[in-house]
Amino acid sequence: MNESENALPLDDTFWTHIEHSNFTIGIPVSDNKMMNVLGVLHDIYDTIEHDPEEGRRLIIMMAAILVASKDGRADIVWEELSVQESMRDLDSTLREILDEES
């Protein structure tokens, strides 16, 4: 086999390859939480295509959790981000309901 046959795909098929490989990279961010780095990167990759601003926000969220984990505060940041996401979801749902009633 030559080298190119052994190489990972370097296009959109990379994510399919990873999904079928049963491989992930987990980074412990607290005593009870692990960040699936490849999963997060895949989510960001998918998001950037249809919502670049949201993709940038996801990158900041990932970085914030990683930085907070250094000081043992990842759980706190994780919870803050979870609350923010819940609020965003609620806001979106309420806007949809109001649009339907108009």
Q: Hey, what amino acid is at 51?
A: D
The closest of 25, 27, 19, 13 to 70, measured between CA atoms, is: 27
> Which sequence spans correspond to the domains of the chain?
3-101
Residues 2-14 pLDDT 10s: 446 668 888 888 9
Contact (Cβ atoms closer than 8 angstroms) between residue 40 and residue 58:
yes
Beta bridge partners of 19: none
List phi, psi (to 5°) of 90.
-60, -45
The pLDDT value given to residue 73: 87
First to last CA, the chain: 63
pLDDT at 101 over 80: no
36 phi, psi to nearest 5 deg: -85, 95
Whole-prediction pTM: 0.70
| pLDDT tens by residue, 45-63 | 999 999 999 899 999 989 9
